[in-house]
């Protein structure tokens, strides 16, 4: 439910009563992943989505029912061959939906944390005894937690430790533990939803292509920084949608700023005096993606210069150059789209090939590196 936290936090502040349906498990070709949510308030207002439209009507009614009877339930939806009009997923997948009436507990604090961009994890029991279903813990990055799952006192500590481990990686998914907190007790399944600050996109080179890429990066949910050593070009007026404008030599800025396994670096300067020291440093950092713009001749010359300063072949293999997928792009906007597409393919494990006539899966199992805040990066 944290992927719609900002709106739900407003509902809490307004005193609105609501129920939330959350995807807790998927099988086959399902349109939404665990954590996707639909919420319905007592007036019938709905926000969010659990299936992209396939079963929204049925889930909406389940939320209305949960508001009436106060019960937490798990419902499975799948494709029906016998009746094409039956409630189900026409894509052939299966999804399990947890429907919970939200009435106090740790939910308001969890929504407030996610809405403000704080790191936090919400761990909920989605499979187990009826009296424990829907119970939740709010887990903070330091390992402290709020709430009680019930039963054995060791259960809360074990659940918090599992949730913290998933929060550290920015991951959302399910984990199994015993009802007594061990791996041997009556099994429970927890859905852990991680909310973390938006991942970073750092665009080096304040050129016209960068302006288009900033817009694509924001659309994909990144916190976007533009960095250039030339103050006349690196201005807020030229990049109004960027979260941050930095006037500095790129390699010096990269040495002083925070990056992590979700960060993407886009080098658009295609100038050796900027590119070489920047890429020499970047290719040794544990970031998700490093791409550099330039012609194939520029690419070959840049690789030669990088080898001369000690960059290894293994390090060079991480560089996406020329940057972007082959879309035949010509305009800055088309080029930015090709770069964004490559970033998504790299994050999700996609091939970049056309789906028409292909035998590759439409939805891949998951990202290659930790995902960002729920719903922030497509």
The pLDDT tens digits of the residues spanning 285-309 come to 999 999 999 989 999 999 999 999 9
Type and span of the H or E element at 108 = helix 107-115
Angle at which helices 332-348 and 208-219 cross, to 10°: 40
Both structure tokens of 366: 């998951």
- Residue 260's contacts (CB-CB under 8 Å, 6 or more residues apart) are 199, 200, 286, 287
| Residue-wise pLDDT tens digits, 38-71 | 999 999 999 988 876 668 888 999 999 999 998 8
Binned at pLDDT 50, 70 and 90, residue 84 comes out as very low
Pairing of strands 173-178, 187-195: antiparallel
Angle at 84 between CA 81 and CA 85, to 5 degrees: 140
End-to-end CA distance of the chain: 17
| Residue-wise pLDDT tens digits, 201-214 | 999 999 989 999 99
Q: What is the pLDDT of residue 33?
A: 77
Binned at pLDDT 50, 70 and 90, residue 11 comes out as very high
pLDDT more than 90, % of the chain: 49
Q: What is the pLDDT of residue 367?
A: 46
Q: Is the pLDDT score of 188 beyond 70?
A: yes
Using an 8 Å Cβ cutoff, are 347 and 339 in contact?
A: no
CA 325 – CA 327 distance, rounded (Å): 6
| Residue-wise pLDDT tens digits, 248-268 | 999 999 999 999 888 999 999
Pairing of strands 200-204, 264-267: parallel
| Residue-wise pLDDT tens digits, 145-155 | 998 887 677 88
Q: Sort 118 into a burial class: Cβ within 10 Å, 0-12 / 13-18 / 19+.
A: middle
Q: Is the pLDDT score of 364 beyond 90?
A: no
The rounded mean pLDDT for the chain is 85
| Residue-wise pLDDT tens digits, 94-113 | 788 889 998 888 989 999 98
Strand order of the β-sheet with 264-267 is 244-247, 223-228, 200-204, 264-267, 289-292, 319-320
Binned at pLDDT 50, 70 and 90, residue 92 comes out as low
Using an 8 Å Cβ cutoff, are 155 and 149 in contact?
A: yes
């Amino acid at each position: 439910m944290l992927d719609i936290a900002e709106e739900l936090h407003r509902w809490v502040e307004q005193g609105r009563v609501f129920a939330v349906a959350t995807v807790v498990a998927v099988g086959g070709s399902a349109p939404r992943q665990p954590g996707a949510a639909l919420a319905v308030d007592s007036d019938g207002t709905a926000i969010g989505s659990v299936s992209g439209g396939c079963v929204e009507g049925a889930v909406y009614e389940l939320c209305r029912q949960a508001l009436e009877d106060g019960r937490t339930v798990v419902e499975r939806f799948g494709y029906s061959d016998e009746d094409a009009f039956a409630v189900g997923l026409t894509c052939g997948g299966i999804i399990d939906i947890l429907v919970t009436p939200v009435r106090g507990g740790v939910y308001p604090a969890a929504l407030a944390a996610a809405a403000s961009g704080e790191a936090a994890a919400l761990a909920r029991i989605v499979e187990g005894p009826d009296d424990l279903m829907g119970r939740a813990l709010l887990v903070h990055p330091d390992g402290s937690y709020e709430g009680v799952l019930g039963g054995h006192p060791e259960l809360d500590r074990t659940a918090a430790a599992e949730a913290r481990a998933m929060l550290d990686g920015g991951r959302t998914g399910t984990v199994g533990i015993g009802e007594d907190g061990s791996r041997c007790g009556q099994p429970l399944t927890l859905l852990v939803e991680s909310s973390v600050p938006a991942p970073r996109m750092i665009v080096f080179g304040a050129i016209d292509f960068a302006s288009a890429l900033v817009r694509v990066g924001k659309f994909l949910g990144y916190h976007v920084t533009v960095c250039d050593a030339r103050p006349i070009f690196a201005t807020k007026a030229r990049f109004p949608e960027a979260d941050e404008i930095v006037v500095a030599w790129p390699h010096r800025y990269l040495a002083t700023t925070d990056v992590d396994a979700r960060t993407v670096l886009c080098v658009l300067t295609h100038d050796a005096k900027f590119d070489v020291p920047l890429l020499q440093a970047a290719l040794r950092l544990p970031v998700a993606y490093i791409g550099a713009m330039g012609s194939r001749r520029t690419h070959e010359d840049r690789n030669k210069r990088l080898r001369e300063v000690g960059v290894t072949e293994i390090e060079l293999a991480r560089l996406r150059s020329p940057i972007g997928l082959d879309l035949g792009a010509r305009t800055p906007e088309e080029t930015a789209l090709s770069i964004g597409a490559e970033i998504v393919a790299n994050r999700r494990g996609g091939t970049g090939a056309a789906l028409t006539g292909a035998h590759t899966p439409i939805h891949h199992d998951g990202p290659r590196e930790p995902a960002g805040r729920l719903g922030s990066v497509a």
